[in-house]
A and B are shown apart, each in its own frame.
Chain A
Amino acid sequence: MHQADPGSRGSDAAETTIAIEAAAPVAAAPDLGLLRVLRDDGSVDPATDPGMSAELLLRAYREIKRLRLLDARMILVQRQGRVGFYGACTGQEATPIATGLALEKDDWVFPALRESSIMLVRGFPLVPYLAQIYGNSADVLKGRQMPSHMSGRAVNQVSWSSVIGPQLPHAVGAAWAAKIRGDRTVTVGFIGDGGTSEPDFHNAMNLAGVYRVPCVMICQNNHWAISVPTARQTASETIAVKGRAYGVPSVRVDGNDVLAVYKAVSEAVARARSGGGPTFLEALTYRIGAHSTSDDPTRYRSDEEVATWVARDPLARLRRHLVHRGLLDDAIDAAMEQELSAEISAAITEVETHGPPGRETLFDDVYADQPWHLAEQRAELLRGPKAPAGH
């Protein structure tokens, strides 16, 4: 992708899109192609290879693996009633992990349900991350937010909204502010395929295009929105085409191919940072597990379909590539797995030593300064075992 001329609005957008289309082998994708790097045999397509270093590839592998193990453990502790809810990323890890690796420290992230882990990649430690899932006294959010809504000011990550959609305009707005201030920050915002039906998706796309902001908007098209397949969500042939309709350069990328996602995100980020405006990425992937811990996917999809996608598992595909390049073998892999499992177990043990946040914290942060009526309620609550009147 080439550098944009900030003066030539519009034509640049079209050219950039075409550049990617020309490079990408056109799979079953009408209109916009599909950016792929990893081949099934573990080799890479030299025409699209982003040239990630061995170290970076191993880091990506490790992060995906950690997330895979972590999600499995969190589902387990949810089933045991130790946390209230969990939405896993299993099968879709390549996009959040590659995104985390492609960003700079000052960039901002506005995830949706399945991208909380980006903050782990960007240096947020595991124990306080888990504390947000447990919502206990070690939680910087003070037990206020649901699991799978992790966030942190220290890593410029804002919680997604449980009511689908708002984070995408927020991402565009943060990018708009960067443009107004003239700083070099880039923002990344996420949405699911189902979320593209909400007006906020269209607002974000339109305003990103109109104001030409340094924002990368990523749709994780995991084929299902709870029980609704993408084909019943939209009559468009692709999600990416919607970005193009708003004048935002749009790319379809194999979302189970870490190298391809890394390439697409890095290029979009570089372009945004140099004044080239927004990009919309549709990452084609699949939710291997349930929508959340309150869902049973066997009610609406076949085991065969799931098996097809398990065969395209992003972790296994990256593994094949690493083995192909001589960077990984069974022994290294097993040792890594053991180490990560131990790290997760230790973090869970540590986080579970903490009790609930103190009741006095309930009234903090509703406003910048605690108003008198909340101070009164707080005093009443703390006065005795009896709960307050409520007003």
Chain B
Amino acid sequence: MSQLRFREAVRAAMIEEMERDERVYLIGEEVGHYQGAYKVSEGMLERFGERRVIDTPITESGFTGISIGAAIVGLRPIVEYMTWNFSAVAFDQILNNAAKLRQMSGGQLRVPIVFRAPNGSARQVGSQHSHAMEHFYAHIPGLKVLAPATPADAKGLLKAAIRDDDPVLFMESETLYGVKGEVPDDPDFLVPMGQAAIAREGRDVTIVAWSRMVHVALEAAAVLAREGVEAEVIDLRSLRPLDETTIVASVRKTHRAVIAYEGWPYGGVGAEIVDRIQRLAFDDLDAPVLRTSFLDVPMPYNARLEQLVVPQASRIVEQVRKVLYRA
């Protein structure tokens, strides 16, 4: 075990997989000479050279496109966007090409590629820089979408993603990069996709979260514990495939659920989870399932307003009180 920050865990996963498999390379803006916009790839250019750690001009659709082309013929690219917001410019490549080439080619082609970047709100970066992009991508068949909350999961899931033969989208968070945690050193430590983790056990209510919001949900659970409410916090880790078994088992125990996430309330992964719960655990529910999300507006820049739009622990607590009919 090592104590690693989230960014170091992501880096360790890339380094180990690049050492293990020379078809793996890293491409993106500022990943090489600058050592990464968020220093995730620090030292990797020195270690692997310019052939495998590749700085690009500012063209997300361009470097996504060439990486998909390279993946078709056998390389295994890791594509970094400076943030997931900028993947919007490459959306056609991901939606219409990475996701569909296997299916459209009758299974003859594959696109073993990882797209990774920080996602979600940062601090005061305005509406165009604060998107929770997982909701857009999780909608698309052919893609896998991961959103770890801890350094260990970041490492284990990213390694699994790099070894996977399908396109995998990996959601990091600017606000998580500095978070520390115990991370296994075993080069074959993998976290399987599609398995949620129980971040905190509890019997009174289930809170489902992923990525940064797991930490906010745990904060909310601590507040609730002082009120005598034991919340179970599920860290989803993987949004597609989705571990409905763990969610349903927890709701069968608690009979109540709140989904806490970044992103807008209309549709999205949160609504998808509500659908699973009401369909698979209808008879076990003692209250409607509620959600805590962004307010339904583009993100403002002003810090005070931003705090109102982004889910806070207090808002999760509020929703939990509602499903417990204590509001």
- Residue ranges of A at the interface with B (Cβ–Cβ < 8 Å): 84-85, 135-136, 142-147, 149, 161-165, 194-195, 197-199, 225-228, 232-234, 299-300, 356-357, 359, 361-363, 366, 373-374, 377, 381, 386-391
User: Given the known A-B contacts A143-B302, A163-B85, A390-B315, are A197 and B57 also in contact in the complex, defined by CB atoms under 8 Å?
Assistant: yes
Is the Cβ of A359 less than 8 Å from the Cβ of B294? no
A280–B319 alpha-carbon span in the complex (Å):
55
Is the Cβ of A362 less than 8 Å from the Cβ of B294? no
A194–B298 alpha-carbon span in the complex (Å):
27
Considering the complex of A and B, which 6 residue pairs feature the smallest CB-CB distances, nearest first?
A391-B265, A143-B302, A84-B124, A197-B57, A162-B128, A146-B126
Kindly list chain B residues whose C-beta atoms are within 8 Å of the C-beta of A84: 123-125, 301, 303
14 additional A-B pairs beyond A362-B295, A390-B293, A390-B295, beta carbons within 8 Å, are A162-B126, A227-B34, A234-B57, A299-B35, A361-B305, A362-B300, A362-B308, A381-B295, A386-B315, A389-B292, A389-B315, A390-B292, A390-B294, A391-B265
B125 in complex: contacting residue of A85, A198, A386, CB < 8 Å: A85
A226 in complex: contacting residue of B30, B129, B265, B293, CB < 8 Å: B30
User: Given the known A-B contacts A194-B57, A387-B312, A390-B294, are A145 and B301 also in contact in the complex, defined by CB atoms under 8 Å?
Assistant: yes
Minimum distance in angstroms from A386 CB to a CB of chain B: 6
Kindly list chain B residues whose C-beta atoms are within 8 Å of the C-beta of A165: 89
Kindly list chain A residues whose C-beta atoms are within 8 Å of the C-beta of B51: none
Minimum distance in angstroms from A124 CB to a CB of chain B: 19
Is the Cβ of A198 less than 8 Å from the Cβ of B301? no
Is the Cβ of A363 less than 8 Å from the Cβ of B300? no
Q: Name, among A84, A199, A361, the residue most crowded by chain B CB atoms within 10 Å (CB to CB).
A: A84
Smallest Cβ-Cβ distance to A385: which chain B residue? B314
Kindly list chain B residues whose C-beta atoms are within 8 Å of the C-beta of A144: 126-127, 298, 300-302
A387 in complex: contacting residue of B86, B124, B314, CB < 8 Å: B314
B308 in complex: contacting residue of A149, A226, A234, A359, CB < 8 Å: A359
Is the Cβ of B300 less than 8 Å from the Cβ of A143? yes
Which of B12-20, B58-66, B145-153, B233-241 has 4 or more CB atoms under 8 Å from chain A? B58-66
Kindly list chain B residues whose C-beta atoms are within 8 Å of the C-beta of A162: 85, 125-126, 128-129
Kindly list chain A residues whose C-beta atoms are within 8 Å of the C-beta of B308: 359, 362, 381, 387
24 A-B pairs (CB sep. < 8 Å): A135-B301, A146-B129, A146-B301, A162-B129, A163-B88, A164-B86, A194-B58, A197-B58, A197-B62, A198-B59, A198-B89, A199-B61, A227-B30, A357-B305, A362-B297, A366-B297, A386-B314, A386-B315, A387-B312, A390-B291, A390-B294, A390-B295, A390-B311, A390-B315
Kindly list chain B residues whose C-beta atoms are within 8 Å of the C-beta of A299: 34-35
User: Given the known A-B contacts A84-B303, A165-B89, A391-B265, are A225 and B126 also in contact in the complex, defined by CB atoms under 8 Å?
Assistant: no
Is the Cβ of B86 less than 8 Å from the Cβ of A163? yes
Smallest Cβ-Cβ distance to A233: which chain B residue? B57
Kindly list chain B residues whose C-beta atoms are within 8 Å of the C-beta of A366: 296-298
Which B residues, 15 to 73, have Cβ-Cβ distances below 8 Å to chain A?
29-30, 33-35, 37, 55, 57-62
Q: Name, among A163, A194, A374, the residue most crowded by chain B CB atoms within 10 Å (CB to CB).
A: A163
B318 within 8 A of A: yes
B309 within 8 A of A: yes
A262–B322 alpha-carbon span in the complex (Å):
64
Is the Cβ of B128 less than 8 Å from the Cβ of A161? yes
A165–B37 alpha-carbon span in the complex (Å):
19
Smallest Cβ-Cβ distance to A81: which chain B residue? B303
Smallest Cβ-Cβ distance to A359: which chain B residue? B308
Q: Name, among B55, B123, B294, B296, the residue most crowded by chain A CB atoms within 10 Å (CB to CB).
A: B296
B220 within 8 A of A: no
Smallest Cβ-Cβ distance to A381: which chain B residue? B308
Q: Name, among B61, B123, B303, the residue most crowded by chain A CB atoms within 10 Å (CB to CB).
A: B303
Smallest Cβ-Cβ distance to B271: which chain A residue? A391
Minimum distance in angstroms from B310 CB to a CB of chain A: 10
Minimum distance in angstroms from A281 CB to a CB of chain B: 20
Kindly list chain B residues whose C-beta atoms are within 8 Å of the C-beta of A362: 295, 297, 300, 305, 308-309
Main secondary structure of the interface of A (DSSP, over half): loop
User: Given the known A-B contacts A144-B127, A390-B311, are A357 and B86 also in contact in the complex, defined by CB atoms under 8 Å?
Assistant: no
Minimum distance in angstroms from B201 CB to a CB of chain A: 26
User: Given the known A-B contacts A232-B55, A234-B57, A359-B308, are A300 and B315 also in contact in the complex, defined by CB atoms under 8 Å?
Assistant: no
Smallest Cβ-Cβ distance to A380: which chain B residue? B295
Kindly list chain B residues whose C-beta atoms are within 8 Å of the C-beta of A195: 58
A122–B123 alpha-carbon span in the complex (Å):
32
A163–B129 alpha-carbon span in the complex (Å):
8
Kindly list chain B residues whose C-beta atoms are within 8 Å of the C-beta of A373: 296
Smallest Cβ-Cβ distance to A225: which chain B residue? B58
B304 within 8 A of A: yes
Is the Cβ of B290 less than 8 Å from the Cβ of A389? yes
Minimum distance in angstroms from A353 CB to a CB of chain B: 16
Kindly list chain A residues whose C-beta atoms are within 8 Å of the C-beta of B302: 135-136, 143-144, 356-357
A381–B62 alpha-carbon span in the complex (Å):
43
B304 in complex: contacting residue of A164, A232, A356, A381, CB < 8 Å: A356
Is the Cβ of B305 less than 8 Å from the Cβ of A300? no
Minimum distance in angstroms from B207 CB to a CB of chain A: 14
Is the Cβ of B318 less than 8 Å from the Cβ of A389? yes
Kindly list chain B residues whose C-beta atoms are within 8 Å of the C-beta of A356: 302-305
Smallest Cβ-Cβ distance to B315: which chain A residue? A387
Which B residues, 231 to 287, have Cβ-Cβ distances below 8 Å to chain A?
265-266
Smallest Cβ-Cβ distance to B314: which chain A residue? A387
Smallest Cβ-Cβ distance to A374: which chain B residue? B296
Contact with A along B132-146 (1 / 0, CB 8 A): 000000000000000
Q: Name, among B35, B295, B300, the residue most crowded by chain A CB atoms within 10 Å (CB to CB).
A: B295
Kindly list chain B residues whose C-beta atoms are within 8 Å of the C-beta of A147: 301
B126 in complex: contacting residue of A149, A197, A374, A391, CB < 8 Å: A149
Minimum distance in angstroms from B71 CB to a CB of chain A: 21
A60–B170 alpha-carbon span in the complex (Å):
49
Kindly list chain B residues whose C-beta atoms are within 8 Å of the C-beta of A361: 305
Kindly list chain A residues whose C-beta atoms are within 8 Å of the C-beta of B30: 226-228
Kindly list chain A residues whose C-beta atoms are within 8 Å of the C-beta of B89: 163, 165, 198-199
Kindly list chain A residues whose C-beta atoms are within 8 Å of the C-beta of B311: 390
Contact with A along B65-105 (1 / 0, CB 8 A): 00000000000000000000110110000000000000000
